[in-house]
Amino acid sequence: MLTDRLNLKTVTLAAVLAFSLFGAAGCGAQTSTDDSTGQAETSETTSEATSSETNAQGFSPEYMQAFGVTGIMNSFADEDIYEGTITSPEDAQAVVEGLVTKIGGDETTKLELMFVRPTEDHTYYIFRQKAGDVFVHGATVKLVTDKDGKATGLISSIMPAIQLEDLDNWAVSQEDAEKVVLEACASEGAPDAEIISGATEQTIIPIQNGAEQYRYVWVVYTKNFYEGSHVAYLAHYVGEDGTYLYNLGVAEPGNADSLSGSASAFAFDNFEQSTWTGTVTTHDGATKEITVPTLTDAETGDIILGDAKRKILCADYAEFNFKETISPRVAADGKFDDKELLVYDCFVRVWDFYDSIGWTGPDDEGTPSLLLMDMVTEKGDPIQNACYAGKSWGFQTFAFNRIDFDGECTDVIAHEFTHCVTSTTMTTNLYVNDLGAINEGMSDILGNLVEMLIEDQPEGAWIIGENEGGENPYRSMSDPHKYAQPEFAWDAYYGPAVVEPSPANDNGGVHINSSMLNIISYKLDQAGMDPSDQFYFWMNVALAMSPLTDYPQMVYLLPWCMEQAGYPQYVDALNKAIEEAKYNTTELSSTLPENTGVITIQLPDEALSLAGSMRLTVVDEDTELTCVSWPEGETGKMTVVLPAGNYALGLELFDGDGPIETKLYGESGWKTRESELDFSETATVKAGETVELTSVGLDQWSAATESAADAA
């Protein structure tokens, strides 16, 4: 039983900070530039570490190359991490301080112990890097010990040799930075954007492919004004010279509770615990009886959809998101909305499952949960999505729409719940490129396993969202191609990494490349690993990952976790699945996947400034399967691997309100949707061949794109 295998109670060692979820410097994840990230022999260096070194002293340079490289120490030869016994937080602090130069730090590196998270077999001591009094986003060290207190692993994503500057002498003040952000918001079509009071912070973030490895920035938070985005806030990054850098959707500001302090502490006062029993109608017209916990107002007798024991409250999305008020769901004539009842009932069951294995609430800290129903835009249009929206007003918040039947999909509800779980175990999620795709994959995997384990779906179901009755579930974990996702790196439908993460490029394919992790879980199932054992394994993966763990680093982390979790019999199958997923492949091979071809476009110089706001939509004329891609890196080149076939092509340009202009492809080039064009024109992709599309017309955009160009 899972109760016997997993007990993940949290011991908080210091005041817990609220961590923002953001992408690394807007530059994507740092990955290897070749396929040579194989498991190397330990090569211990003998020179003293200096502030200019990027390789760690004492461990293999192939692993400790610059910042952000995950090192799992006991996977190297017979290298011992520490010979003594670690039995307390004080011991752990002393050990990591003694090892700091071996993991890329120097005498200026500070590591602060944030949490201790024990499982039945191991204890994870989780540290966060500081430079002076400023936390370094994404820089984490995890020291792992066994039952006897022996160090078995050390996972590091710290940034080495940060030369601390005087943060009080920046070229721009906080007030100036916030003004820069408001001007940027206005140019994005959001002139009414407001700064989240008390949340602006100075921090240090990594830079990819730059002369320096980090930079100081102001992080300024606003509500998310992008239509259809699934997170509640935007983090805006302003350089120390006052340059607006970029923004990313985040689940919570750095100080989320500043909005209203302890609002959640009073949400369950003056209510009596009760239950509601009644009949609900499912997507197929069938009916069933459910019983859910409710709250009864002692004075008015109103029945509210909520639970004081588990600290769950259902409320209106628009009231909370746009008016900053909590409007609980109250029964009308003794009846609630059926879809909302099903969401609430499913969330309670997912909450109980995690609680049964020792994880209390979404963040294991007993924080109340707020289920925001009827997710809509500010204009009142429904947003067809479900999301974990971060911590706000003292609640962990989740949002659901009125269109889908997500309440009948335990994997969907558990997917969103798990986003909060992994945010907690990793101290923060850097939601871009590989890092975001792995985050989405972890939610798919654990969500699907929860659905199996609470017997809402028979074992062997590897579709996400199959229970709501729609013709198009979200994803297939066993056959990713079915819903335009890749099985391996640079397979058909693969989404390239981006420099400028945005809603247009799905933050670098976080919902597309997640399949490369999902398929590992399916293949472990095929190797005979049952759902309960898989769940324990993947929870250990969540505990071991650093915020900068990307796919090449998963090559080492996953087998190490499998050994740590006590399943050596599955290591060979796991390694085979990883090899097939080609995690170390960073460029398209000259040998294409079977029965596929390539479409490429090079943007003209006039359009390069818009690259971060562009998305290519490709529709298979025969199957109507749709996939998307975008310019990769800073090259302005788009490369799409596709099965052989005939494809209609559209290139969309986005701003804060969604697509503002679409160009369709034809033999004479690209023309706007409103112009005369034969919509039936297609590009034919043949197996093994590359189709180079003309860029004629891509240097001509309407005046409506000026704001997008200015923002980019």
Taking each helix axis as running N to C, give the angle between helix 410-425 and helix 338-356, from 0 to 180 degrees, rounded to the nearest 10. 50
Name residues whose C-beta falls within 8 Å of residue 243's C-beta, 6 or more positions apart in sequence: none
3-state secondary structure (DSSP) of residue 115: strand
* Closest by CA position to 163, among listed 136, 128, 201, 127: 136
CATH number of 596-711: 2.60.40.1120
610, exposed or middle or buried, with CB in 10 Å at 0-12, 13-18, 19+? buried
* Closest by CA position to 200, among listed 179, 230, 225, 169: 179
The domain limits of the chain are 31-65+68-156, 167-250, 425-587, 596-711
Tell me what pLDDT residue 101 has: 79
Backbone angles phi, psi at 58, to 5 degrees: 105, -20
Tell me what pLDDT residue 100 has: 84
Tell me what pLDDT residue 42 has: 26
The model's pTM: 0.80
* Closest by CA position to 648, among listed 687, 622, 630, 672: 622
CA distance 642 to 645: 8
State the 10-residue block means of pLDDT for the chain, 712 residues long.
Answer: 29 21 24 28 27 30 34 40 90 91 78 89 90 76 92 82 57 89 88 89 60 67 76 81 80 48 61 93 92 91 94 94 88 92 97 95 92 93 90 88 92 96 86 93 96 77 80 87 95 91 89 97 97 96 90 92 94 98 90 93 88 90 88 86 94 81 88 68 92 90 58 48
Strand partners, 249: 234
Tell me what pLDDT residue 49 has: 26
Give the right CATH number for 425-587 from 2.40.128.20, 1.10.150.300, 3.40.50.2000, 1.10.390.10: 1.10.390.10
Distances (CA, A) of 357 to 191, 340, 539: 47, 26, 11
Q: DSSP state, 33?
A: S
Tell me what pLDDT residue 201 has: 85
Tell me what pLDDT residue 675 has: 60
